[in-house]
Amino acid sequence: MSYPSASALSLPSDVRSIVWRAMEQTVNGVVVSDATQPNNPLVYVNTGFTRMTGYPAQEVLGRNCGFLQLGDRDQPGVHRLRQGIAQGEDVTVVLRNYRRDGSLFWNRVEMSPVRDASSGRITHFFAVQTDVTLEREREEMAQVRSLELERAIGSHPMGMVTLTADGRVSLCSPAGVALLGLGDTQVLGLDVAELLQRVGQLAGVEPGRLPWPGPGQSCLWELHRPQHRVIEVSASSIGSLTGEQMAVLRDVTQQQLQQASRDHFLATAAHELRTPLGSIRGFTELMLMRAYNPEQARPLLETVLKQAVRLGGLLDDLLDLAQLDDRGREAFSLVPVDVCQVVRQAREVIELPGNRHQLVLELPASPVWVLGHGARLEQVVINLLSNAVKYSPDGGVVHCRLMQSDGPGECMLSVADQGIGLSEDDLGRLFTRFFRANPGGPIPGTGLGLSLVKEMVERMQGRVTVSSRLGEGTTFVLHLVRCTDAAMPGCAS
């Protein structure tokens, strides 16, 4: 017995038979309840209902379908279903229902009232029930996966953006929001074209200039506002079945600058190496082509030797810089070092040409311990003392003085000369690699010494300052970290 609608009863018998067989053969559950009786008892259930719930028709007819919830009746869907029955309206809800064996399944119920054709009074409620357990489990798994993904990308230092199968932003990590310069609410839901347009507008990039990589590919964005940045965007697939994608955003501005600096450094180094090599080759070829007596050959050989020494010094400096660049703060270990002993050792290495120069050391008699590396700190002091002598061609006094600093935990070692001094322009470029004041003059050098001094002292957690006046001399000051008494055990000079 079925009560689909009053109009259905007027259908020809063969059509009613087709409708009946269709309801019996459908995989969905079909139920009809009697709205004219108290508590809306079931008056019809199809075979699909029995397959889905395990209840045969004889066990459920005459009962309210609330038995499918067992004791789990405090559900929003149940309340909405009751409201629909009370108001006589169409309702679609998803409920937690329980089969005859007690197992849980999720049931989507699409209920409609059936009215009498003549009076309009509701006589029955007709409902189609669908088992959506797998669909619900997939949704819950997707929600769990989304939460896990959100937690994972939320704590990741690199920017991460996830895209749905149709190419819309579903998640954007805090780091991603910062890199894009857009709030997360401005990003979520955008498709790739809209995202690129907004990022381009904010960063001052012409439309169409920002690419988007395919899965397994990467590209670079050059952004101009609010400051110049280079962002690497790498895309990958994160769901072969779902079609989702993830893009990882990484700020590579510093790496790009370092690469450009490295390329410039290599080009400049190659040029600097060619100069002494050219001289050595040229003078050697000249001596091989002509027969010179010893007096004529001597100045040529002295030039070859001078350029060979310069070449050797340049290679040594390049190796030192390469070690500092590659190993960073791990280039050498730091221990307490007696700076007074280091200066005295450096003094023994310095050559004072003729009697025009006087090297004066002003050091305390007792040790002064600083954080450093003995050999590297000695190299720094030798470089500064050598420069002071070289850039004082007319002689004079070179002062090396150890002073207390105004700041706590620091001491200062100064090296001052009375030489040719430096211009304001030269002071600004003094620690640049390969920079030499008066490069065409007679004073030898590689242009790397002071950059090495600066990098070595900074590796020792110190700093270098310089003051100079053209024609009056130059003073370098090393600001070194002073060791406390607690650091004395195991100290090394």
pLDDT digits (tens, 9 = 90+) for 426-468: 777 777 766 666 655 555 555 677 888 888 888 888 999 999 8
- 63 has pLDDT over 90: yes
- 486 has pLDDT over 50: no
User: In which band, very low, low, confident or very high, does the pLDDT at 488 lie, cut at 50, 70 and 90?
Assistant: very low
DSSP character for 444? Answer: -
Q: How far is CA 255 from CA 230, 434, 441, in A?
A: 9, 22, 36
Judged on CB neighbours under 10 Å (0-12, 13-18, 19+), 251 is: middle
- 21 has pLDDT over 60: yes
CA 101 to chain centroid, in Å, comes to 54
CA nearest neighbour of 336 among 165, 155, 485, 117? 485
Rounded to the nearest integer, the mean pLDDT of the chain is 82
pLDDT of the residue at 334: 86
Average pLDDT over residues 18-26: 78
Q: Would you state the structure tokens that stand for residue 273, as one six-digit string?
A: 């190496």
- Determine the length of the chain: 493
Least confident of 46-50, 332-336, 477-481: 332-336
Residue pLDDT, tens place only, 75-117? 999 999 999 999 999 999 999 999 999 999 999 999 999 998 8
- 267 has pLDDT over 90: no
Least confident of 15-24, 37-46, 60-69, 400-409: 15-24
Average pLDDT over residues 402-415: 83
Angle, vertex CA 213, rays to CA 207 and CA 219, nearest 5:
80
Which range in 54-68, 171-185, 194-208, 306-320 is most confidently predicted, on average pLDDT?
54-68
Q: Which residue has the higher pLDDT, 323 or 287?
A: 287
CA nearest neighbour of 271 among 99, 127, 446, 396? 446
pLDDT of the residue at 296: 86
Q: Which amino acid is at 83?
A: Q
